[in-house]
Structure 1
């Protein structure tokens, strides 16, 4: 394929000079497509994977038409997270300097007075997160009458984080806005709904199909025993030896616990989650970016928008919530043309669900968790190579010392002792092969056909929610809302049966106390369609046909009886 160069797109000299001084000579595919289209007065929707160069794809055409030294706030760029917004701000500042343009950054956790001064002094470009931008609009510190272009970067993330109301309020306030550019890695139904409401006959530019693989990323699944995922992760890290890895978990508690466990195992790791202060986040990211700490354990929300160079591995602990989550997680590596490795640590039962989730377009290599014997053999090979190639240690001092030791000791025994001192304390992982083989055998064993009631209700509480596929809900969204509303961990939720117009959610007995306390919140939100039903098998025989208790009454009925 013929390679294009930035000089071929009629960019203004200042921008070409800025790109050249940064060493950018050729555009990425998304940059090529956007720069090649006539989008001067058009709304556009661009689908391109994370890490494909979308920031320059919208900054270059915007700055191409912005007057030098302009101080009116003409362009608004919204992104889902503080980190991503700050990265866009830095890129805009770098290019804007060549055109004497100022850029304002409006994000939470930063000095409000400084942001107001930036706006008053005049900024042609305003970057920010929806919450803080809407705050400035309502305060009157951000005047929207001059804004003619709004860019929604990572639109799917903004909607996934619950910013739809803020986005709609912002877009409705832009009375003179002439065009809206929407960039997104995926196109869920919510994105289509937003584009229909606010974009006028947009031009669609697609650089990736749903589920399309990034050729720069190698995908592998490591099978581990369900109850020993942390031990399995230790083995995977010892085997892979990542230079810099982001390890994804589902909840804040999991990130904290896993980072502590890794530290106890002798690894340098920091965690990143949504409840950290800005100072704590900055410290953790600084340690990770600098390489002082090679492992970052993060939640999906906390890691969104991060653009960290040199991430060699992404490791996903457990089954991702959905395909979109998987895509965004894996997109943290293999960025800007660099190769990366995406690893999933799954139990055998999770593996079958994962295959159905991602479909056939993404190719995976499936492996069992490395065994300590194999890890030790690989470590031994690395040590041998290190010893045999360490020429700089052949100094006179060491040679004389070696002669003295060899003259008084057996050479084989002496070498064995030295290797023992170097190698004996090396961690080689946990023996998990036997248990994993048993789980694989159980997962492949044909299961007895069970009725829907047996499948969902045995020893569990079952809730029917009036939300389903037709409402744009998926299993991950249901799990997050149930856990946050009832203040329970995901381990307290069993099977989730997603239907077109409703869902059946199994709550394990350990969640009963929290359900009794917070169940009314589901009713208040209009989510609870039917009351709780409880069908537990009795441990004693007799007392009813088949030795089973009759189903207890639902949440609201039990609450009345309690009175």
Structure 2
């Protein structure tokens, strides 16, 4: 066991019983003389053990040298977390960490019954854990008295500011006693955090957790290049290929979470969702399903999954590309925790690979580009898992041997093995067929321009017409993705695009044209009021540029009207009328 220094004996015993053999760098930093009874500004990445770290840090301040707490009265410590899930998780950690001290811990989080929280606070609590808005409500209503606080901890302080809790935090900190310890834990220390620390902390001791530069070393990063229409199919195949005990899939929006959860559930996956539209009870049940094995996949938004810690979470999938490096790191930090290896996969549509590379570079991470698992890859892995199943190496016991022999005599070993194989394969969802192997696409993109073979696939290209043109503000930048999605093709299969006034024509490579047309006839374009038709032969030459002498309707020469002024600025004057003198 690591030298625990000044750690409270009750906490040391709790860590030993929990199987801790060594403390993480941020936990060790809490035991240094400089950190003792000081305000702390701590930078620590997700998964570094910071919940236990600030539990260790505030214990001497709360216990005052005693081994156990006196009967509970007004709170001595307040822990503020950005989300309900993180607050509940902190409470769960503190319950085992402080069990030997006799601490009473209460929680105040949005979405829970406020009356029950008031009763718990009235009964007395040594430590209160909560979210900013709910804590402020209790303080304002008088149900939470923080006049006896000895320590306040802001967990994930940068996230709370990003979520707009600055006013609530300043209210809570201003209402707390001046003589207290204030501990700020944050993944990063932007200017807002620095200002908050300067205003509400006194000579804060700065701690940067060791190893921060080598963050996420236990995570293997991969990016899978896919056709835009194949994104969900690639997610399904990735889940099947890794077959992790627990996986989490991140989406940007609530609607995306709802859609993908339904798709996975329909395919036979044991899946739950986490998003802001769920009640606290629903979110708690979802997490509990992941912990007890009833569900193996969680589809979540960034905010809903902030700070959650799921056991045996070996796979993180970014269904939607992270918009910035901090989001990438926070998402990915759900796996690769406490020395456990993890895999983080980014599902990247072909046209967004540049954005993916930029986010990875800003996060100082490197990812291997790999193809999406194919049906044959998944089948091969499934068969290997069946062969390696530990249950097959266990000999039958006395109660089973009789019926085993009866089965063998009735059906034979080969027939029984075939039935077992079919049952195992039927228990897993079927993989998806992907349009094109991304590895081939990536290889083509990596070739120098001079080495690329000349393209001959448009020598026999087929032309199609789409029912939008200049008048509908058609542009190649949105026509091309729509064409690719409608026909299940990549942009390399699309040749020339000619935009006319009321429609547009585009060319599809000859070897892709029939499959493209079949997909369009079956699925449509996906855009309301927009249709695609196949053309017979090549379209006419592009329309000529029009001059004031040319009719836009017919393209033919139009003679000048009488009285034409001769100006070519686009504004023609009406023919002049001859003045007739009035006769007297």
Per the TM superposition, whether the score is higher than 0.5 is yes
Give CA-to-partner distance per residue, 1:288-318, whole Å, 9 cap, x none: 1111111111111111121222212111113
Residue 540 and residue 73 in structure 1: after superposition, are their counterparts in 2 closer, same or farther (change >3 A)? Answer: farther
Kindly indicate whether the alpha-carbon contact (under 8 Å) linking 2:44 and 2:212 is maintained by their aligned counterparts in 1: no
Give CA-to-partner distance per residue, 1:483-516, whole Å, 9 cap, x none: xxxxxxxxxxxxxxxxxxxxxxxxxxx99xxxxx
* 1:17 maps onto 2:16 in alignment: no
Equivalent residue for 1:374?
377
The TM-score, its normalising length taken from structure 2, stands at 0.69
Structure-to-structure mapping, 1:392-471, within 5 angstroms: 392=395, 395=401, 397-399=403-405, 401-403=407-409, 405=411, 421-422=422-423, 425=426, 427-432=429-434, 434=436, 436=438, 440=442, 459=475
Equivalent residue for 2:3?
5
1:86 to 85, 88, 91: 88
Kindly indicate whether the alpha-carbon contact (under 8 Å) linking 1:5 and 1:25 is maintained by their aligned counterparts in 2: no
CA RMSD of aligned residues (A): 3.4
Q: Distance in 2 between matches of 1:420 and 1:25?
A: 42
TM-superposed CA distance for 1:44, in Å, is 1.4
Kindly indicate whether the alpha-carbon contact (under 8 Å) linking 1:47 and 1:208 is maintained by their aligned counterparts in 2: no
Give CA-to-partner distance per residue, 1:213-246, whole Å, 9 cap, x none: 3222222222222221110111111111111111
* 1:46 maps onto 2:42 in alignment: yes
Residue 442 and residue 200 in structure 1: after superposition, are their counterparts in 2 closer, same or farther (change >3 A)? Answer: farther
Residue 81 and residue 397 in structure 1: after superposition, are their counterparts in 2 closer, same or farther (change >3 A)? Answer: same
Q: Distance in 1 between matches of 2:304 and 2:219?
A: 22
TM-superposed CA distance for 1:75, in Å, is 1.9
Unaligned ranges ≥5, structure 2: 64-68, 450-472, 478-526, 529-541, 553-584
Unaligned ranges ≥5, structure 1: 448-456, 462-509, 512-538, 548-563
Pick which of 99-108 and 426-435 moved more: 426-435
TM-superposed CA distance for 1:401, in Å, is 4.4
Kindly indicate whether the alpha-carbon contact (under 8 Å) linking 1:248 and 1:300 is maintained by their aligned counterparts in 2: yes
Kindly indicate whether the alpha-carbon contact (under 8 Å) linking 2:222 and 2:368 is maintained by their aligned counterparts in 1: yes
Q: Distance in 2 between matches of 1:374 and 1:434?
A: 15
Q: Distance in 2 between matches of 1:87 and 1:206?
A: 23
Equivalent residue for 2:354?
352
Equivalent residue for 2:265?
263
TM-superposed CA distance for 1:324, in Å, is 0.8
Pick which of 163-172 and 116-125 moved more: 116-125
Equivalent residue for 2:173?
171
Please say which structure displays the higher CA radius of gyration.
Answer: 2
TM-superposed CA distance for 1:251, in Å, is 0.8
Local SS of the residue matching 2:183: strand
* 1:65 maps onto 2:68 in alignment: no
Residue 64 and residue 198 in structure 1: after superposition, are their counterparts in 2 closer, same or farther (change >3 A)? Answer: closer
TM-superposed CA distance for 1:459, in Å, is 4.7
Count of aligned pairs:
453
Local SS of the residue matching 1:266: coil
Give CA-to-partner distance per residue, 1:382-432, whole Å, 9 cap, x none: 3344499455469454445445556xxxx98x6996588457756552232
Structure-to-structure mapping, 1:155-304, within 5 angstroms: 155-207=157-209, 212-304=214-306
1:362 to 360, 365, 372: 365
Q: Distance in 2 between matches of 1:35 and 1:544?
A: 83
Local SS of the residue matching 1:35: coil
Residue 198 and residue 382 in structure 1: after superposition, are their counterparts in 2 closer, same or farther (change >3 A)? Answer: same
- Structure having the higher helix fraction is 1
Q: Distance in 2 between matches of 1:416 and 1:24?
A: 44
Pick which of 431-440 and 191-200 moved more: 431-440
TM-superposed CA distance for 1:358, in Å, is 2.5
Local SS of the residue matching 1:65: helix
TM-superposed CA distance for 1:185, in Å, is 1.9
The TM-score, its normalising length taken from structure 1, stands at 0.72
Kindly indicate whether the alpha-carbon contact (under 8 Å) linking 1:225 and 1:347 is maintained by their aligned counterparts in 2: yes
Kindly indicate whether the alpha-carbon contact (under 8 Å) linking 2:107 and 2:129 is maintained by their aligned counterparts in 1: yes
TM-superposed CA distance for 1:84, in Å, is 1.5
Local SS of the residue matching 1:221: strand
